[in-house]
Amino acid sequence: MSEDEKRFDVVSHNLPKVDGEALARGRRVFLDDIENSPELVAGILTSPLAHAEIVDIDTSRAEKLPGVESILHYGNVPRVPHTTAGQGYPEPSPYDAYIFDNRVRFVGDRVAAVAGTSWQAVQEGLEAIEVEYNELEPILDPARSRESNVQIHPEEDASGIYDSDRNIAAHVDIEVGDPKRALDEAEVVVTQKCKTQFAQHTPIEPHVATAHLDEYDRLIIRTSTQVPFHVRRIVSQVVGVPIKKIRVIKPRVGGAFGVKQEILLEDLVSLFALRTGKKVKMRYTREEEFVSSRTRHPMEVEVRLGADKEGRLTGITMEALSNTGGYGTHSLTVLSNVGSKTLPLYNEAPSVHFYGDAVYTNMPVPGAYRGYGAPQGYFALEVAMDQLAEAVGKDPIEVRKLNHIQEEETSPIFEKLGEGKEGTVQYIHSCKLDKCIDLGAEKIRWEERDAIKRNYKTEDKARGFGISINMQGSGIPLVDLAAARLKLNEDGSFNLFVGATDLGTGSDTVLAQIAAETLGVDLDQVVVYSSDTDFTPFDSGAYASSTTYVSGNAVKKVAEDVKEQILELAANYYDLGPKDLDIAKGKLLTPAGSVDLSEMAIKTTSGEIELDQKQIEATASEVPAESPPPFAAHFVDLEVDKRTGEIEILKYVAAVDCGTAINPNLAEGQMEGAIVNGIGYALTEEMEFSDTGEMTNPSFFDYKIPNTEDIPEIEVILVESDEPTGPHGAKSVGEIGIDGAIPAISNAVRDATGIVLTESPFTPEKVWKKLNEGK
List interacting residues with other proteins (CB under 8 A).
14, 16-17, 19-30, 32-33, 36-37, 201-206, 252-257, 285-286, 503-506, 663, 665-666, 668-669, 672-677, 699-701, 705-709, 711, 714, 716
Shortest distance, position 22 Cβ to other proteins, whole Å = 8
Q: Kindly tell me which of 224 and 376 has the beta carbon lying closer to other proteins.
A: 224
Give every CB contact of residue 583 below 8 A, 6+ residues apart in sequence: 519, 520, 521, 563, 566, 567, 589, 597
Shortest distance, position 47 Cβ to other proteins, whole Å = 23
Shortest distance, position 681 Cβ to other proteins, whole Å = 12
CA dihedral over 441, 447, 452, 454, signed as positive or negative? positive
CA dihedral over 764, 765, 766, 770, signed as positive or negative? positive
Helix axis angle, 597-606 relative to 552-574, nearest 10°?
80
Q: Kindly tell me which of 699 and 772 has the beta carbon lying closer to other proteins.
A: 699
Going through 387-481 in order, the beta strands assigned E by DSSP cover 461-471
Q: Kindly tell me which of 389 and 498 has the beta carbon lying closer to other proteins.
A: 498
Q: Kindly tell me which of 30 and 574 has the beta carbon lying closer to other proteins.
A: 30
Q: Which amino acid is at 286?
A: R
Q: Kindly tell me which of 183 and 671 has the beta carbon lying closer to other proteins.
A: 671
Q: Kindly tell me which of 418 and 706 has the beta carbon lying closer to other proteins.
A: 706
Q: Kindly tell me which of 254 and 645 has the beta carbon lying closer to other proteins.
A: 254
Query: Contact, 247 vs 218, CB < 8 A?
Result: yes
Q: Kindly tell me which of 201 and 297 has the beta carbon lying closer to other proteins.
A: 201
Q: Which residues pair with 248 in a beta bridge?
A: 221
Shortest distance, position 508 Cβ to other proteins, whole Å = 12
Query: Contact, 55 vs 132, CB < 8 A?
Result: yes
Shortest distance, position 738 Cβ to other proteins, whole Å = 11
Shortest distance, position 300 Cβ to other proteins, whole Å = 27
Q: Which of 548, 542, 556, 410 is nearest to 471 (CA)?
A: 410
Shortest distance, position 285 Cβ to other proteins, whole Å = 7
Query: Contact, 561 vs 519, CB < 8 A?
Result: no
Q: Kindly tell me which of 21 and 409 has the beta carbon lying closer to other proteins.
A: 21
Query: Contact, 470 vs 544, CB < 8 A?
Result: no
Longest CA span, the chain = 94
Shortest distance, position 720 Cβ to other proteins, whole Å = 17
Shortest distance, position 255 Cβ to other proteins, whole Å = 4
Cα separation, 299 vs 378, in Å, equals 12
Q: Kindly tell me which of 351 and 663 has the beta carbon lying closer to other proteins.
A: 663
Distance, first Cα to last Cα, the chain: 58
CA dihedral over 563, 566, 568, 574, signed as positive or negative? negative
Q: Kindly tell me which of 433 and 666 has the beta carbon lying closer to other proteins.
A: 666
CA dihedral over 164, 166, 170, 176, signed as positive or negative? negative
CB environment 761-775: b (16+ within 10 A), e (fewer): bbbbebbbebbeeee
CA 424 to chain centre: 21
Query: Contact, 179 vs 318, CB < 8 A?
Result: no
Query: Contact, 357 vs 484, CB < 8 A?
Result: no
Q: Kindly tell me which of 286 and 429 has the beta carbon lying closer to other proteins.
A: 286
Shortest distance, position 39 Cβ to other proteins, whole Å = 15
Burial class from Cβ neighbours inside 10 Å (0-12, 13-18, 19+) for residue 754 reads exposed
What values do phi and psi take at 158, rounded to 5? -70, 155
Q: Which of 421, 427, 406 is nearest to 625 (CA)?
A: 427
Helix axis angle, 741-753 relative to 664-683, nearest 10°?
60
Give every CB contact of residue 25 below 8 A, 6+ residues apart in sequence: none
Q: Which of 386, 356, 230, 290 is nearest to 742 (CA)?
A: 386
Q: Kindly tell me which of 31 and 335 has the beta carbon lying closer to other proteins.
A: 31
Shortest distance, position 120 Cβ to other proteins, whole Å = 10
Q: Which amino acid is at 366?
A: P
Cis peptide before 38 (omega within 30 of 0): no
Measured between alpha carbons, how far is residue 229 from residues 17, 20, 246 in Å? 24, 25, 10
Shortest distance, position 405 Cβ to other proteins, whole Å = 28
CA 188 to chain centre: 36
Q: Kindly tell me which of 575 and 709 has the beta carbon lying closer to other proteins.
A: 709
Shortest distance, position 503 Cβ to other proteins, whole Å = 7
Q: Which amino acid is at 728?
A: H
Strand 103-104 relative to strand 52-58, pairing: antiparallel
Shortest distance, position 505 Cβ to other proteins, whole Å = 6
Cα separation, 719 vs 725, in Å, equals 18
Shortest distance, position 231 Cβ to other proteins, whole Å = 19
Give every CB contact of residue 448 below 8 A, 6+ residues apart in sequence: none
Q: Kindly tell me which of 52 and 208 has the beta carbon lying closer to other proteins.
A: 208
Shortest distance, position 666 Cβ to other proteins, whole Å = 6
Shortest distance, position 264 Cβ to other proteins, whole Å = 18
Strands of the sheet with 130-135, listed across from one edge = 103-104, 52-58, 130-135
Q: Kindly tell me which of 348 and 715 has the beta carbon lying closer to other proteins.
A: 715
Measured between alpha carbons, how far is residue 389 from residues 281, 306, 663, 745 in Å? 56, 12, 37, 16
Q: Kindly tell me which of 198 and 652 has the beta carbon lying closer to other proteins.
A: 652
Cα separation, 487 vs 3, in Å, equals 31
Q: Which of 402, 331, 323, 347 is nearest to 142 (CA)?
A: 323
Shortest distance, position 274 Cβ to other proteins, whole Å = 27
Provide the 3-class DSSP secondary structure of residue 63.
helix
Q: Kindly tell me which of 18 and 77 has the beta carbon lying closer to other proteins.
A: 18
